[in-house]
Amino acid sequence: MAPAFKPAYLIHGDDHGRIAERRARLRGLAERGSGAQGVELFEGDQATPDTVAMALNAMTFAIGRRFLIVDGAERWKDREMDALEASLAAIAPDTTVTFFAREDGRLKAPKRLHDAVRRAGGDIATEQSVKPRELPRWAVGQARALGLELTPDVARMLVAHVGERQQRLLRELEKLALELDAGAPDRPGGAVRVDADTVLELTAASAERRAWALADAVLSGRADNATRVLLQMRAQGERLPGLVYWMSARLRQAHQIARALERGTPQAQVRSGLRMPPSAADRLIADARRLGAERLERAVCLIADLELASRGGGRGGPSEDTAALLAIRAIAA
């Protein structure tokens, strides 16, 4: 059965990865339901309250539900909302507009946008990051809802083992619940107690550490190995935007190293500025020297295009997974 969409949504908060994930999922649902012609994207300079208001008021010949996906609502001000408020109040019944606000510090979706979405009969969802020191307590609560019992010590160990991303932690808790048959209505004894050995046996190690391994495989030219690692991580539920983020960071770091070496900076000085074990630093410096600044600059551009595609940018072309495989093989070739 096709999902039922409301006229308007506002997805906001400081968990930017989760917001990007929801944006990509919405776009996929919209394109499957209405085709690419039924989806309109508003990004960058085109994502203003007045531009969106004009689009909502415009006639369209699209067949089926019309979707407007709007980025950057965290930059808007209350004083800019007059036209958009009026357009949302009279939104067409076959139209859905979704506003995404990646909030940070003083950058917040304006209150008048919140109010206008509610008055239009829409929904508001907050995607808020939990501070690292609060993650063990958060994990205990999420586990309890899944029929699991974690002690504070085991929760801390889970965070250390899996990493600090909430969605990653939640996925691992869900896997534990399935493996241990937690929450089954006919299970006696209430919640299933999870010990440290079970966490180590049944959960995956930090995605960040494995993403570094993926980036290093790309840099070293091991295309087949990099492809295998990427496919394994995607099969385990890792989001592509997160993996691309770490690959991009490593490539940029290698590019900076290559430029420093080509300017004549001594290798010992370059190594002293890297926050990693000496053996890992030497491998990264060797890869950067072998590839050179010019080739690494092209690699950074390739990964930037992939990062845009993985976060819902761009139109047409291969799927995000295919684009990732092509980019990795091109860089590692």
285's CB contacts (< 8 A; 6+ apart) are 257, 261, 267, 270, 271, 274
SS3 184: coil
Backbone angles phi, psi at 148, to 5 degrees: -115, 155
Q: By C-alpha distance, which of 145, 155, 154, 230 is closest to 191?
A: 145
Backbone angles phi, psi at 8, to 5 degrees: -150, 150
Question: pLDDT value at position 129?
Answer: 81
**pLDDT > 90 fraction of the chain, expressed in percent and rounded:** 32
pLDDT exceeds 90 at position 169: no
**Cα separation, 147 vs 192, whole angstroms:** 6
Neighbours of 228 (CB within 10 A): 13
pLDDT exceeds 70 at position 146: yes
Q: How large is the average pLDDT for residues 163-167?
A: 77
**Cα separation, 287 vs 24, whole angstroms:** 33
Question: pLDDT value at position 189?
Answer: 57
256's CB contacts (< 8 A; 6+ apart) are none
* Residue bearing the bigger pLDDT, 168 or 11: 11
Question: pLDDT value at position 106?
Answer: 86
**pLDDT > 70 fraction of the chain, expressed in percent and rounded:** 89
* Interval 88-132: pLDDT, tens: 999 999 999 999 999 988 899 999 999 999 999 999 998 888 888
Beta strands, E only, the chain: 8-13, 39-42, 66-71, 95-102, 123-126, 148-149, 192-193
Question: pLDDT value at position 132?
Answer: 84
251's CB contacts (< 8 A; 6+ apart) are 215, 218, 219, 296, 299, 300, 303, 331
Instruction: Delimit the domains of the chain by residue range.
Output: 8-126, 132-202, 207-332
**Cα separation, 206 vs 189, whole angstroms:** 32
**Would you list the DSSP string of 246-262?**
HHHHHHHHHHHHHHHHH
Fold match, 132-202 / 207-332: no
Confidence of residue 12 (pLDDT cuts 50, 70, 90): very high
Question: pLDDT value at position 314?
Answer: 53
pLDDT exceeds 60 at position 185: no
Q: Which fold has domain 207-332?
A: Zinc Finger, Delta Prime; domain 3 (1.20.272)
* Interval 274-312: pLDDT, tens: 866 677 788 889 888 988 888 888 888 888 877 776 665
Confidence of residue 139 (pLDDT cuts 50, 70, 90): very high
Residue range 8-126, CATH number: 3.40.50.300
* Interval 129-138: pLDDT, tens: 888 888 999 9
**Cα separation, 300 vs 281, whole angstroms:** 19
Q: How large is the average pLDDT for residues 261-269?
A: 91
Distances (CA, A) of 236 to 71, 114, 168, 232, 316: 29, 36, 10, 6, 26
Residue range 132-202, CATH number: 1.10.8.60
Q: By C-alpha distance, which of 150, 221, 223 is closest to 192?
A: 150
Distances (CA, A) of 260 to 11, 267, 269, 273: 42, 9, 10, 11
